[in-house]
Structure formats: structure tokens, C-alpha cells
Amino acid sequence: MEGHDMINVYPQVIEMFNTDDLEAKRMCYYFIGTYALSKPDLTLSTLPIIINDLNTGSPQVVALALKNITSIPIREFFKESIRPIRKSLKSENISVRKAAIFTIARLWERDPKMVNDEGLMATLYDLIEDKSTNIVAAALTVLLDIQDKSSDLKLSFNKGQAVYLADLLGNADDWDQLTILNSLMNFTPQTHDESYTLIDKVISLLHHENSSVVLNTFKLMLYLLNYASEIEEYIIRKMTSSLTSLLSKPDEIRFLVLRNVILLILSKPKVFHFDVSLFFCAFDDPIFVKDTKLEIIYLLANESNLSIVLQELAEYSIDVDVQMSKKAVRAIGNLAVKLEAASKTCVDTLLDLASNDIYYVNQEIVIVFKNIFRRYNQFDYALSKIISHADKIEEPDSRSALIWIIGHFARKIPKAESLLADLVSGFGEDPLDVQLCSLTSVVKLFIQKPEEGQDVVLEILKKATEEVDNPDVRERGFFYWRLLSAQAKFPGTAKDIVDGEVPLISNENEQLDPIILEELELNIGSLASVYLKPVGQVFRLSKRKLLPQSPAKSNGFSNIVGSLHSTSSSFAEARPRADTINSNNTSTSESGISDQRRVDEFDVPAIQVNPIKKQSNLSRRVTTSKSSLSRKLSIRNVFH
């Protein structure tokens, strides 16, 4: 039955309402919760029943009634709710009290003034000191929720309150811990010691199995460390390893953790050190995990790990997954632009890949070479190799790139004019981007080689101004036409405009504004941390978070005590303070990239060697039966 048909049974549901059966009662409540606004008059007639439930019902019925009386958007309902809420807040039963606390949040949404006038806000503050952790957490949840929406409420805890809350963490369940950790973000340490005290109280939660508790503890610690004068190295190691250990969680959680790793690489590259090999892709990683890993590999690449990174990226670039393959090629190209010292190795890797003649790989290689040629001028040998693939370049972006390369370096390319003439022969049918790029390139060619370029430039300008309908193309065609005609009068002008110095490519786009990073650090684990964008840009109504000022605010991150081993990996488990020095000597260096292990090291001779049997079953039919194992693995059907 379609949803809208159900409304016709509303009168019958009301008849049912006075039942003693809890399950039936629940259903009635769900029903009026859903259809309240479609039949307001009928809904209003249920009010006495609800009030009766509130006064006489079992704890579960009271909780149910409370939830509903405040969620039905009819004024009479929530006006009648104040008294029962007050009464329920004093109930013996925890679940009734919790339900009552959450109704305050609902009421606030409808009428903030009423909640204030009735003294319910003050009640919430009192409940923070309740003896039940459950109730404290519920009150904090509601206060934090209201703080997010309200323009004037700003929670702020002093040291005593913060310590009191942190001490509740030990006995709270996961969800209450999350609330408490979050509310501690409203504590601003006034001295360095206050910051250390709190860190000591929460650090053991980094071992929690709940990934959200780990991330929120991480967020709180990172926040508190802004108010520390110096930071002991084991704290940083413990934090780093708490994140990397989450990489064995389900894909969706790994995705979130990986996004936050990117944030840390961008915001605190000198503080948190991650071993790049942790982020190598496994074949069954879903694409959203692979993507993010690829981004991390690119960001972590440096001269010391280049060979292993390139080897890995080259492997991905011949992956069966076309998207993945293209992204890997792009990453290699970007690395060439980012690391000057590595550019030669990257270029050679790319040329090696190009020689395989894989269609989609080469489409992408041309695109990345455009930037490489633009950035460096020592790769002339690559130029001819790339040009030699010209006839197989078909995708629009790749063709634009190739046309740009030939036009820009026409001087260096023998027979550039005939190459370009071939590429632009289908000018009329090309997509807009390719047309615009072709126009500029033929003009560049003409400026560099007037004799050879004459024919093609005339042909293209003619087509652009006479045959193409797109106004942008025509406009640019006319512009170039006039520019070239005026050459005699203003010699050199056309060259300056069309073939002048190109701005240098830099990798600025991987840097984010420090203020945005500061805001994102305060939002670790949130949706904004996935998008790595300023919170206000994604969620317009969200409040901006900034690090509060305090006399204790300092630059502790530049003052890390106990050396950070930049070459060794940082995920060796942090030891308690006393033996920090020992563990540095033993376990940290072992998983570094520098000393890669080989399979041979594990080899032992076999006791039994089974020889190959020369059997007669030389040729076998292809079976289609699926073993149970293959069914489990059917995710691999990417190979179809």
C-alpha cells in the first residue's frame, strides 16, 4: 500500500490509542508522528491521551510520549509539554530522564525563548553535575547541539570543570565518551600545565577500538597541544600510530582516516611523519580508497623514497582499472613538476610506460608532459618520443595538450607544420577546447616559423571565422587575424602576446591557507575533513571555529622534545615515557623504507619436492561452476 493511503485509517488508529499493549502503542505513536500535520484536527484530539500517558504510563510509555509531544509541530502540543518535562527530569528512571533532556533540544528548535524563560537552559547546566554519566552526556549533547545553532550561547569550561568531565571518561560508554571529548573542545587551557593535565587524562583513549573515539581523542589532543610549550615526542608517535592503526577498519572508516591523514600532511608536515608504504593500494581497495591513497602517496613523495614510490605508481599505471591507471600517470607527471631532482627519473618512467603503447595510458602521458615541458627545458629527447605517438592521440584533453606542445615548441620540432596540419585537419568537428587551443597553436607556429606555418594558419583562421558557429572561436579567430595583419605596423607585438613568456608552474595548489587548516584541525573526523574545504563553504549555516586565544597559546609544535626520526617510520608503538629511549633504538628503524626485505631472507630448503606429473589431461574444458570461494571473491569481476 502506498504511504498516502494509510492516512484514511487515522480515526481507527486513535481508537486503538488507549491500548495497554506497548508494541501497539508504539505503532500508534509512530503513526501520529508521521501523519500529524496531514490531519491537524484529528491530531489535536490525541493530546489528552498523550497527556494521560505522560501522567500514568510505564517509563517506556512516558519516554515515548515525551518524544512525540515535542516532535509534533503543533503549538498546543509543546505548550503542554513543559510540565511533564519538568516532572520527568526528576524521574528515577534513566531512560525517562534522557528522553526529557532530548525534548529540550526539540523545544529549543521551535521556541528558544520559551526554553530560556521556563528555566530549562539553567536545568541543563545543572545536569552537567548529575551523578549519572549517562545524564551528564545527554545534557552536554543537547547543550552542544544548541550551541551550534544559537547565536549567543557559548559554552566555556574552566580547568576544574574540564578535569571533572575528563574523569568521567573512564566509566562512560563509547557514545557518552564521544560527547564528553567533544565538549572538552570548549575548554581553553590558560596555562601550559592545564593542557598537559588534560592530555594525560585522555591519551589512553587512543587505544580505543571505536574509531570515532580515537579520532575525537586525536582532535582534542591536537587542539590542546596548541597550548603546550613543548611536546614530548612519544605523544606525537602515539597519535600517529593511533591513526595508522585505523587503516585496518572497514573501507568507509579507512576513507575518512585517509582524508584526515591528508589534512595532517598539509597542516603539520614537520610534526606527523607517515611511512609512504602504508598507503600502497591493495587490489581490492574500493576506488574511493585508492584515490585517496594515491593523493597521499603523491604528497609524501620526496627524494629519499622516490624510487619505491615510482615503482609503485608505475605498477598502478598498467592497472586494469582505467581510472586508476590514468590517475597514477598523472601522479607521476605531477611528481616530475614538484620535485626537480626527481624529474629525470619521472620522465624516464613515463617514457618507458609510453613505449608500451597502451591507448589510455598514452592519452594521459601526453597531458602530463605538457606541464613537464613547460616547467623544464632539458627534456628535448622526450619531445620527439612523445610526438612519435601523435597519430594515436584521440581524447580531447590529450589532443589539446599535444597541439599546445607542438605549437609552443615548433622551433625545436622538425616538420612541426605538417604535424600540426594533420592534427587540426578536423578543426570544424573538434570540441570547443581543442578548437581554441588549435587556433593559438597555429598562430604560435606562424610566429616561430613564418614560412612553414603560413598555409596552415591561413586555413585555420579562415575556418574559424567563416565556418564555425561558436562566437568564442570566431571572436578569437578575428582577433588573431587582426593581430597578424597589424604585424608590419607593430612588429613584435604578436609575439609578445601569443608566444611570450609563460608563467611558471608551481605546486601551490597543494597548499591550503593556514587559517583554513586551523579550522579543519578543529573539525577532524567531520564531513569538512573529507572535503578539505572551509566549513562555511560546504555548510553555509555552520559556525566558524577558531583557536581561542589564551596566555598559554604557543608554538609547541616547533618544540618537540626527543628527536623525531625523520628517516625511520613513526608508527612503531609509542612506549610509556620511561623506556622511550630504548624503543627508539630497537623497533623504529626496522620498518623504514631504507632496509627493504626480500623474500629470499625467509627461504628454507624444502624437505619434499613434488615433481610435475606428466598426465594425460593435457587439455581441459573451461568450467563455469563457481566454488564457494569464488563466490566470495566475485568482487573481482572487474576483469570481465
Site for another protein in 510-549 (CB under 8 A): 523, 525-531, 535, 538-542
173 vs 475 by CB, closer to another protein = 173
Task: Give the whole-angstrom CA distance, residue 422 versus residue 567.
Answer: 51
Q: How far is the CB of 476 from another protein (least distance, A)?
A: 34
Q: Which of 194, 312, 364, 430 binds another protein (CB under 8 A)?
A: 312
Nearer to another protein, 354 or 473 (CB): 354
Report in angstroms how near the CB of residue 36 gets to another protein at its nearest: 12
Looking at beta carbons only, is 415 or 626 nearer to another protein?
626
Q: Tell me the closest approach of the beta carbon of residue 386 to another protein, in angstroms.
A: 19
Interface characters, 494-513, with another protein (x: CB under 8 A): --------------------
Give the binding range for another protein (CB under 8 A) out of 45-53, 239-247, 335-343, 456-464. Answer: 239-247
Gyration radius from the chain CA atoms: 34
Q: Which of 341, 502, 578, 618 binds another protein (CB under 8 A)?
A: 618
Binding mask 182-221 for another protein (x = CB under 8 A): x--------------------xxx-xxxxxx-xxx-----
Size, binding site for another protein by CB under 8 A: 137
Residue 187 gets which letter from DSSP?
B
- Residue 511, sorted as left (phi over 0), alpha (psi -120 to 50) or beta, turns out to be beta
- Report if residue 295 touches another protein, rule: CB under 8 A: no
Question: Which parts of 399-428 interact with another protein (CB under 8 A)?
Answer: none
Contact string (CB under 8 A) for another protein, positions 24-63, x = contact:
--xx--x---x-------------------------x---
Q: Is the Cβ–Cβ distance between 232 and 556 less than 8 Å?
A: no
Q: Does 315 bind another protein (CB under 8 A)?
A: yes
Q: Give the per-residue contact string, 319-348, with another protein (x = CB under 8 A; - = no).
A: xx----------------------------
Give the residue with the Cβ less far from another protein, 345 or 587: 587
Q: Which residue has the cell 633504538?
A: 585
Neighbours of 69 (CB within 10 A): 27
393 SS3 class:
coil
Given the complex with another protein, which of 126 and 173 has the nearer CB atom? 173
Structural contact between residues 140 and 180, judged by C-beta atoms closer than 8 angstroms: yes
Candidate list 8, 56, 151, 637; residue touching another protein; CB under 8 A = 637
Check if the beta carbon of residue 124 is closer than 8 Å to that of residue 104.
yes
End-to-end, the C-alpha distance of the chain in Å comes to 40
State which of residues 14, 138, 367, 402 lies at the interface with another protein (CB under 8 A).
138
* Exposed/middle/buried for residue 117 (C-beta within 10 Å: 0-12, 13-18, 19+): exposed
**Residue 277 binding another protein, by CB under 8 A:** yes
- The least CB distance from residue 260 to another protein, in Å, is 9
Query: Taking the complex as a whole, how short is the minimal distance between the CB of residue 527 and another protein, in angstroms?
Result: 5
* Contact residue for another protein among 76, 117, 129, 148 (CB under 8 A): 148
Q: Which of 357, 472, 475, 496 binds another protein (CB under 8 A)?
A: 357
Residues β-bridged to residue 231: 560
Establish if 244 lies at the interface with another protein (CB under 8 A). Answer: yes
Q: Where are the alpha helices (DSSP H) in 340-470?
A: 343-354, 359-375, 380-387, 396-408, 416-423, 432-448, 450-466
In whole angstroms, what is the distance from residue 93 CA to residue 95 CA? 6
Name the residue nearer to another protein (CB basis): 117 or 173: 173
Of 354 and 416, CB closest to another protein:
354
- Determine the residue type at 423: L
Say whether residue 21 binds another protein (CB under 8 A). no
| In 57-93, alpha helices (H) | 59-71, 75-79, 82-89
Q: Of 491 and 611, which has the nearer Cβ to another protein? A: 611
- Cell readout for 621 is 574444458
State in angstroms the smallest separation of the CB of 310 from another protein: 12
Using the rule CB under 8 A, which residue among 28, 128, 176, 185 binds another protein? Answer: 176
Q: How far is the CB of 25 from another protein (least distance, A)?
A: 12
DSSP 87-110: HHHT-S-HHHHHHHHHHHHHHHHH
Cβ at position 9, least distance to another protein in Å:
16
Q: Tell me the residue type at 75.
A: R
> Residue 174: in which H helix or E strand, if any?
helix 174-183
Residue 590 as a binder of another protein (CB under 8 A): the answer is yes
Q: Verify binding: residue 304, another protein, rule CB under 8 A.
A: no
Our finding on whether 174 is near another protein (CB under 8 A) is yes
- Contact with another protein (CB under 8 A) among 506, 507, 567, 586: 586
Q: How far is the CB of 154 from another protein (least distance, A)?
A: 18
Site for another protein contains 485 (CB under 8 A): no
3-state secondary structure 292-343: HHHHHHHHHCCHHHHHHHHHHHHHHHCCCCHHHHHHHHHHHHHHHHHCHHHH
CB of 72 to another protein, least distance (A): 11
Nearer to another protein, 488 or 607 (CB): 607
Report the residue number, 504 or 604, with the smaller CB distance to another protein. Answer: 604
> Cα-flanking dihedrals φ and ψ of residue 597, to 5°?
-95, 160
How many other CB atoms sit within 10 Å of the CB of residue 592? Answer: 18
Q: In the complex, what is the shortest distance from the CB of residue 98 to another protein, in angstroms, rounded to a whole number?
A: 7
Could you tell me which residues come within 8 angstroms of residue 152 by beta carbon, excluding any fewer than 6 positions away? Answer: none
Q: How far apart are CA 102 and CA 365, in angstroms?
A: 57
DSSP state for residue 639 in the 8-state scheme: G
- Vertex 524 angle, CA 518 and 530, to 5°: 100
Tell me: does residue 167 bind another protein (CB under 8 A): no
Site for another protein, residues 72 to 131, rule: CB under 8 A: 73, 92-95, 98-99, 102, 105-106, 109, 131
Closer to another protein by CB, 438 or 523: give it. 523
User: In terms of CB distance, is 477 or 525 closer to another protein?
Assistant: 525
- Which residues lie closer than 8 Å to 182 by C-beta, 6 or more apart? 140, 144, 216
DSSP code string of 257-285 = HHHHHHHHHHH-TTT----GGGGPPPTT-
